[in-house]
Amino acid sequence: MIWFPRPLAGGLAIFCLHATALAEAPALAPAALAAAVRSDEVSIPTPGELMAALDKLGKPDWAGRIREPITTNFSRRAQMALNLGGLIADGYIAVEAEDAQQLKNLGRDILEIAKALGVPKEIRDRGKSLTEKGEEKQWDVLREELEATQNEVKQSLAANQDQPLIDLVTVGGWVRGTEVVSASIAEKYSESGARLLRQPAIAESLAARLDLLPEKLRDDPVVKRVREKLAELARLVAFPRETAPSEASVKALHATAAELTRIISTKEKK
Amino acid sequence: MSRRLFPALLALLSFTAVPLAPALPTDAEVAARQIALEVAGAFQNDGFKVRDGHWAGRLEKGEGKLIQVNLFAGNEYWFVLGAVAPATKVRIAVFDEAGQPVESEPYEGTVSAAAGFSPGISGPYYVQIALLEGDPAACCMLYSYK
């Protein structure tokens, strides 16, 4: 477990290495854990973090995870937001798959939904340099700049008081991401891969956010179904620390996430 | 066409994790973040990616802050805390979801500290930051991973 980064020798000359590697602080009380800060900027992992962990288990077949185009002409903001999140997750997959055409297609779909949701034009104008890198297929550079861009834009979106909308996008993205990751792990099952699916705090947090949505959004038919199914998914990703879920459990988890994705992307009939 | 569409995709990624209308950072918080970034930047040569998101606030002596993070087994992480004067010594430590301290590689500067940790189990962890010496000051916690 002990490891040292090479740059410490030079870049971190200001540091003094302490011999005591094990934290000597006393254990934290449950009340302290419950009161801990939960900030999306550091408490919700980025797709890059999960992808880094997945890559250590062998390069996933990202191209094989690209899905058929979904409809984008939703009539209600809640479903638009949920699908925006899913499409954004698809964007990450396209980058990993290094599929420029898919990225263009997703960009078109995302733009369509984003306009319907009233996303400001100035935000869409951010990132021209990233576009150029995408066209030049500088995937490695893109991966690094992607996150910086999205966090710059976060500040702007947060100022619009769109938290309920943002929560739904977050849920849509997490569900689609969980579906894709669980599919990869189920396809080439290993205990170490299955352990990556353990995300109890994230699922709990997202379920709680849906419970706190404004009544109008909470009562949306699709949101209602998502809340029910998300509770089921939350249980499946909250397995014990000591055990890896079985192959059957991973497949069940994937089936639930896939059903959620289907609910989110199916346009409700009036 | 893609020149217009791809920026939209990138921009919209930001929807995924946003607190409601955060207050603008103070100059001291910006300075603390800069210190944290300088420390974290040293790890980049070894393949660590610095996460752009961060938590900034004010540290009071004797009142540590606890921040939840969600980590993936197999990844390696460096959690970095930067602070500004009048803080003179800070500490950062990592705990598991049961509240037990985990084994990590600690480094300490004058107004910065870092903890390297590679989880064996995916799930929630807690980063504790504290002011050990000096007076209350702005601070910033961020992390890098590979």
Averaged pLDDT for residues B60-85 = 94
Confidence band for B23, pLDDT divided at 50, 70 and 90 = low
> Residue A239 carries which side chain, given as an amino acid letter?
F
Chain A partners within 8 Å of B2 (Cβ): 100, 103-104, 107, 131, 134-135
Q: Is A196 in a helix, a strand, or coil?
A: coil
Closest CA to A185 of A260, A249, A110, A259: A249
Chain B: give the shortest CA distance to residue A128, in Å. 6
Has residue B9 got a pLDDT over 50? no
Which chain A residues contact residue B66 at CB under 8 A? Answer: 28, 32-33, 35-37
| CA distance to A50, A100, B37, B39, B41, per residue, from B44 (Å) | 18, 27, 10, 10, 5
User: A44: exposed, middle or buried (C-beta count within 10 Å: 0-12, 13-18, 19+)?
Assistant: buried
Question: What's residue B110's pLDDT?
Answer: 82
* The pLDDT value given to residue B29: 94
Query: For B97, which residue in chain A has the nearest alpha carbon?
Result: A33
Q: How far is CA B108 from CA A88, B84, B118, B122, in A?
A: 38, 14, 19, 27
> Measured between alpha carbons, how far is B127 from B146 in angstroms, rounded to an integer?
18
- Given this model, what pLDDT does residue A119 score? 72
> So what's the pLDDT on residue B78?
97
Q: What is the pLDDT of residue B52?
A: 78
- pLDDT attached to residue B101: 96
B88's tokens: 């003179």
Tokens of A35: 């009161």
Contact B5 A104 (CB under 8 A): yes
Does A16 reach chain B within 8 Å, measured CB to CB? yes
Residue boundaries of the structural domains of chain B: 47-146
List chain B residues with CB under 8 Å of A27.
95, 98-101
- State whether B48 and A33 contact (CB < 8 Å): no
Q: Which of B9, B20, B45, B63 is the mutation pick for testing A, counting most A CBs within 10 A?
A: B9
Question: Phi first, then psi: what are they for A87, rounded to 5°?
Answer: -70, -35
Cβ-defined contact of B15 to A23 (cutoff 8 Å)? no
Residue A133, pLDDT score: 66
In tens digits, chain A (270 residues) has pLDDT values of 334 343 443 344 334 333 334 446 789 999 999 999 998 789 988 777 887 888 898 889 999 999 999 999 999 988 988 998 888 888 888 888 888 888 778 878 877 887 787 776 655 655 455 566 667 887 776 666 556 555 554 555 566 667 788 888 888 888 998 999 999 999 999 999 999 999 999 999 999 989 999 998 899 999 999 999 999 999 999 999 988 999 999 999 999 999 999 999 998 765
pTM, entire model: 0.80
| List of chain A residues whose C-beta atoms are within 8 Å of the C-beta of residue B79 | none
Closest among A22, A244, A211 to B96, alpha carbons compared: A22
* Interface probe, candidates A4, A39, A153, chain B, greatest B C-beta count within 10 A: A39
Using H for helix, E for strand and C for coil, what is the string for B73-136? CCCCEEEEEEECCCEEEEEEEEECCCCCECECEEEECCCEEEEEECCCCCEEEEEEEEEEEECC
pLDDT digits over B102-125, tens only? 999 998 888 999 999 999 999 999
Whose tokens are 């210190």? That residue is B35
Here the ipTM equals 0.84
Q: Is A252 exposed, middle or buried (0-12, 13-18, 19+ CB in 10 A)?
A: middle
**pLDDT at position A149:** 52
Binding-face residues of A in 211-240 toward B, CB within 8 A: none
Highest CATH level, class, for B47-146: mainly beta
